[in-house]
Each structure stands twice: as C-alpha cells, then as structure tokens.
Chains A and B, each alone.
Chain A
Amino acid sequence: MPDYAFGILNVDLNSGVTSRSEVALNDIRAYLGGSSLGAQILFPWLRADLDPLSPEAPLLFLTGPMTGTMGTSVGRYVICAKSPATKLWGESNVGGYFGPELRSTGYDGLLISGRASDPAYLWIHEGEVDMRPADHLWGICDTYETQVRIKEELNDQLVRVACIGLAGENVLPIALILCDQGRVAGRTGMGAVMGSKNLKAIAVRGRRPIPITHPDRFMISRRRENINLRNDNYSRAAREVGTAGAMEYFHYLGDVPTHYYTHGIFKGVEKISGITVAETILSGVSTCHGCVIACGRVVRLKDGRDRKGPEYETIAGFGPNLGIDDISVITMLGDLCDRYGMDTISISNVIGLAFYLYMEGILTEADTDGAPLIWGDMEIIERLVHQTVHREGLGGLLAKGSKALAEHFHVPEMAVQVNGLEVAYHDPRGASGMALVYATSPRGACHNQSDYFMVDTFGHTIEEIGINFYPRQAGAEKAANVARLQDWRTLCNALVLCNLANVPPESVLELINDVTGFDYNLDELVAIGERAWNLKRLINHRLGLTGENDRLPGHLLKPLPDGGSAGYVPPFEEMLAAYYQARGWDPETGRPTSERLESLDLTERISDNRTD
C-alpha cells in the first residue's frame, strides 16, 4: 500500500491547545476523505446524549484527496458534526477556495472541540495556529464583512476565510458557514455548531504542495478530463445559465414546488429562471478552485453593484415556493440570507410553512403582529428573514425550523421536512426517485446526498456502474437504482467532487488512483460510497434513528391539482420496502444486516448495530 497521508489539526478551544494527528492508512483507503472519512473519524464522538451545541461536540472540516489538485471540480471540502437541526449526522460540503488553501497549510482536516471563552477566530498559516480575538467582529460584521476585516488584519488578500454570520452567532439550527464570495455549507446547521463554540471564523493561508503520488500521470489525466468536462453539454449549460437554467424544464415536469408544495404551476417561472438571469442581470460568472464549469452567477441590479446571483434552490425557495416572480427581489433575499449566514432552503421553507398555516387558518394575525401572510408579499418575507435571525416576534418560532414550528401549532404532519431538515425544491411527485432520496438521506431531506432528480428528469444515467434510466414516475422498480446513485454520490462526497461535474466513473477512477496510488478498481471505488452510506446509517441508529424515521412528509403524498405531475403520488411504502431489500437492510427495523456490514468490511461495527 502506498504511503499516502492525511493529517488532521486538532484544536481544543477550551485550552487553546493544538496537535497534529494522522489518519490511519487503512481508514484513508477505506473512506478516502470528505464526509465518508469524516464519519469514520467522528464515529467515536457521536452519542445520543451529546448536545450538538455543547463544548464537547466536535466540528470537523475535512478535504478530499483531490482537493486543491486542479482535478475536475474537486476544489471542495466538507464540514461534519452532529446536526443541531436533526440531532443526527450532519454534513455540508462547499466549494470556493478555502479547502485547497487549508490543504496548503499542511493539514487535510481540522477537528475542533471545546468552546472559546470569548469570540475568537483561528488563523492557520505556515504550520502555526493562532487563536485571535473576534469581539470586534461578533455581532457586528456579516459574512462578507468578516472576510474583508480579517484579510485586512492579516495584511494578506490571499487569505481564505470560512465564517459565520449572525445566524450562527445566535445558534439557529439553519445557520450556515460561508467562504469566499458566497460559497456556502448551507445545510444541517453547521454554522450553529461553530457559533456555539464562540468561533467566528477560520482563516487559512499556506504554500505547501498538495501530495500527488503519480504527478506526471495525473498531469496528463486531469488535463484531458478538464478539457472533456469543459466541453460537456451539462457543463456548458451550467456555465451559460447556472444551476437554475433548467428551472423552466423542471417546472414543465411538475418538479418545482409552488406555494409550499401545494401546486405544480407558477405563472411567473419564466421571469425568474436561470435563463432569464443570463438574459437580464448577469454580469459575470464565478468558479470554485480549479473548476472549468463556472456555475456561479455574478449579477448587477439597479444599484449598479455586482453581487452573487441566486442558484436554483434559492430561486425556487423564494420564487415559486413563496410566490415571488421578481428575480431582483429574490437576488436581494438570497444576499441577505448569505450575509446573515442562513440556509436559503430552510428559511424559505419555514416561511412557506408559516404562509401555508396562515392560509389554513392555523396561524393567525395574532401570531404575526397583525400582518397578513400573502404569497408573493416580498416585504413581509424580508421582515420575517430579519425577525428569524434576531429571534423576534414570529421569527422566534421560525428560527427553530419547520418541524418545531408545526409542532408548536400541533400540526406536525404539515411540515415538509424529514428528520428535522426542510425538504429541498425538487418534488418527488415530479421525480419519484426523490421520495426515497429524501426519506433515507443520512442528513434529512437533502437533494445533494443523491441528485436523483437528474436521473428522473434528464436521464442522467451512469450505466457503467449500473445507474440506469426508469420513467420519472416509476415506483419500486427504481429503488436499487436510487441506492446505487446514493453510493456513487457518497463516493463523490468523499473525493470531494462536485455533483455538477459530469465526469465518467472510469475517469474518476484514473484520477483518484493517480493521486493516491491506491490502484482501486471501479467496484472498490463504488464500494467506498456504499460503505460510508452504511456507516452514516449506523451513526444515525446510534443517535436514535429507527426505520420509523424513513418517512415522507404528508404534503408530498397528496396529489397536486395542477402542473406536469398533477394527480401522481409516489408509491412510497412499496418503494421503501424495495429499497431496504436492495440495501440489504432489515425489512422491519431498517438496520443494515450483519451480513451486509461484513460484506462492506464493516465487521468491527456490527456490535454497534445492536437494537437492545
């Protein structure tokens, strides 16, 4: 086995003591990096009685073996912890430039525990780690201002900063971590974990080379694959119209939730799609480190200032979901959430629930200080964003998330969430595979643990590894296919390879073997994803998850009255049973069987899989 290393910087914020540890080579080979390796590293820490916002809760920043190598769209890193939103496994991966810069400091990951006595930020550079005061930033600077101030203080504009905003400081379970110009680790409340540690930011700057086992071979393979990726249809579409470029097509299919998942038609969709952004307000594009796709939008509104343009989920959340058909307003709301450090999927979802409850007469003007909640009322939506981050008025309830809001009004079935995480904006009635994706994702209702909507709507198959095409509203027959894509995306999250990068598996295999020297075959590579998926399942069982948690919210099991998926409901129970069978999980408990764990080289975890 080659001598491939993965070094972790351990930081105890209680004492300020830091140390370096090396990940065991067997673990690197078994999990590679990213959230897969993160699950293996954090497994001993994560218990049911661990308060995710307590000092002893760990917060792990981890890169992948290709992060910073200029491989195909791999300039990413992941943040893992016990989620304050779900109380289960939490992870959120993000692009930008922070991950590659972290690796350039000589560390591949950063494991933070404890709580600083006062607001602080970490400064990691040239093998040194400083804990610096952040009182002058805490409660004062938003996520963008924080980056500017820290770079000024350190007198180096090439410093990369990951930080929280007011949402993280106020430990909202929907708080995110932001780096660079609007690249966010949005989901599962990682910003709240960081805020609970009084940690405002992490600044990194390094000049050390990224380890590559076969640099000459890798130079050839990465160059070839980057050229192929740049010319790929999907890449060119993402560059031209961003991630929201297919919004009109998704809407045509009934995949875009409207008015809190109650309708399938939004009349203003063509005013807010990525195509319209490209035709009207787009002033440039932005990329992550070494990425040839450039899906990031830079837009210019009437004030003449360039700012980050919204991506698909933000447009869908504030647009059809809340009824806004003005792309400038959506852009401003997205920018506001980024500055506060708040996940746009979750905040737009929880506001949507409030609107829905108001329409149903469950939430009244007594709860809203007399303001009616009318779809498309941008002023009240903006006000609720402000109130939420400050926990003021109705915002005090919204800040707890959709699950808590619905429980407060004794209508838990009305919240469109799974295990405490708000559902993203691809409707399982328009793309049935998403029913299983949302119900079984290790981090709650997430569309990025498996972007199966792309298989259902675009036919984005990967036949080489057994991911085939089924009609978008097929049922149980696609369950094994869903599981297979989950495994592949879990592998991608280990690398950490962007979901938008349409890189064939054989090419991924070549790249990873050139970097690590592990000489995997394709089956072994996919098995890494399946192993990690099951390990996260074991973690969640340890944290209290049972088969009863594998559910879809009631809204998504009612037929829509209109649109491209009107009248259809995914046959969820049949799909779930087929999914368990495909996974080798117990049909009653949903736990991985011992035989399946053994086959995945997880024998050592069988004793952790007890039900008693």
Chain B
Amino acid sequence: MAMKFPSEEYIHAVMEVLNNDQQYAQVARNWEGDIIFFVEPDGGVEGQDLPMTLYFDLWHGKCRQVRIINPDTEELPDAVYTLTASQHNYLRILRGELDPMQAMITRRLRVDGSMAYMLRNVPTVLDFVRCCGLVEIEADN
C-alpha cells in the first residue's frame, strides 16, 4: 500500500521492513546510533505538515523505535546524527532518483554528526536507504 511521506504510517512501515530484512540485519550489525530527519518544505514554504521531524533509533541491525517529534512541545533527543533536506530531495532519494552519497556531497542533504562514523559505515547507510525505499510512497506525494 502506497503511503504518504513523511507520515506516521510511513516510518512505522520502514521500521517493520528494517526489523525483518536479513541483509540489513547483517550489514548494520555494528551500527549504534539514532538519527533525526528534518524534512523541510520545498522552497522553504511551510504547510502541509511541513517541516516535520522524524526519529529513528537504530541499534545493531534493528530499529528500536520510530516516532514523529513535535519540536514545539518535545525536547529533541541528543541523536548521533541529524539529517536535513527538503521533502523533494528526500523523495528523490527514497525513489532511487538521487544517490544518498550524491545528496550529501552536493549539499542537498546536510549531515550533522560524526563524519568519521558515517564514512566508516557507508554500506550501512546505503542499506538503510534501500530498506526505506522498499516502502511504497504515493505517486502524487
């Protein structure tokens, strides 16, 4: 079933994929770290639930928790990484139209956190994105 991105149902569907994907379990077996995704409105125009803050707690090949955070009412977790991009660029990554490494190096996806850990775990990053892409997104998202 196609889902809207970003949405509560989407992140829970991704969590289910991550926790049932043997390849991800193997590739990400050493990964320790939670990630905050800031999804910004395209062109900086707010509305339609954007901006939105997503939280993924990833630990040794499993996804322990996902949730949408309301920064106005909740304190942001001290996540290992925060990733920031427009909804458009997230969608391009999830649909396989934009390589995640390319997004990082061409300033489409900002990464805050240890670059060393990220570079040491590129296969994990790529496999996480692969799993996210397995959840179908609405065509007119």
Contacts and interface: CB of A to CB of B under 8 A. Distances in A.
Interface stretch (B15-23, B41-49, B53-61, B112-120): B112-120
B122 A252 contact: yes
A275 interface: yes
A249 B122 contact: yes
B12 to A, nearest CB: 29
B115 A469 contact: no
Interface string B68-80: 0000000000000
A234 B102 CA distance: 11
B123 A237 contact: no
A245 B115 contact: yes
A459 interface: yes
B105 A502 contact: yes
B119 A241 contact: yes
Contacts of A252: 122-123
Nearest to B114: A240
A546 B3 CA distance: 58
B99 A240 contact: no
Contacts of B111: 233
Contacts of B115: 233, 236-237, 240-241, 245
Given A458-B101, A458-B102, A275 B107 contact: no
Interface string A221-235: 000000000001110
B116 A233 contact: no
Interface string A457-469: 1111101000001
Nearest to B113: A236
B128 to A, nearest CB: 15
B119 A461 contact: no
Q: What's the dominant secondary structure at chain B's contact region?
A: helix
A461 B106 contact: yes
Given A458-B101, A459-B102, A469-B102, A233 B119 contact: no
Interface string A274-301: 1100110000000000000000000000
Q: Among A237, A252, A270, A279, find the residue whose CB has the most chain B CB atoms closer than 10 A.
A: A237
Contacts of A70: none
Given A240-B114, A278-B116, A234 B105 contact: yes
Contacts of B123: 252
A246 B114 CA distance: 13
Range, interface on chain B: 10 to 19
Interface residues of A, number: 28
A252 B109 CA distance: 22
Interface in A425-478: 454, 457-461, 463, 469
B99 A469 contact: yes
A248 interface: yes
A571 B28 CA distance: 34
A457 B118 CA distance: 15
Interface in B81-110: 99, 101-107, 109-110
Contacts of B122: 248-249, 252
A474 to B, nearest CB: 13
B113 to A, nearest CB: 10
A123 B123 CA distance: 52
Contacts of B104: 233, 458
Contacts of A245: 115-116, 119
Contact of B107 (A233, A248, A278): A233
A232 B114 CA distance: 13
Contacts of B101: 457-459
A236 B112 CA distance: 9
22 contacts: A233-B111, A237-B115, A240-B114, A240-B115, A241-B116, A241-B119, A245-B115, A245-B119, A248-B122, A252-B123, A275-B116, A275-B120, A279-B116, A457-B101, A458-B102, A458-B105, A459-B102, A459-B103, A460-B102, A460-B105, A461-B102, A504-B107
The 4 A-B pairs of least Cβ separation, nearest first, read A459-B102, A237-B115, A459-B99, A275-B116
Given A234-B105, A454-B105, A463-B106, 16 more contacts: A233-B104, A233-B109, A233-B115, A237-B115, A240-B115, A241-B119, A245-B119, A249-B119, A252-B122, A274-B116, A458-B104, A459-B102, A460-B106, A469-B102, A502-B107, A504-B107
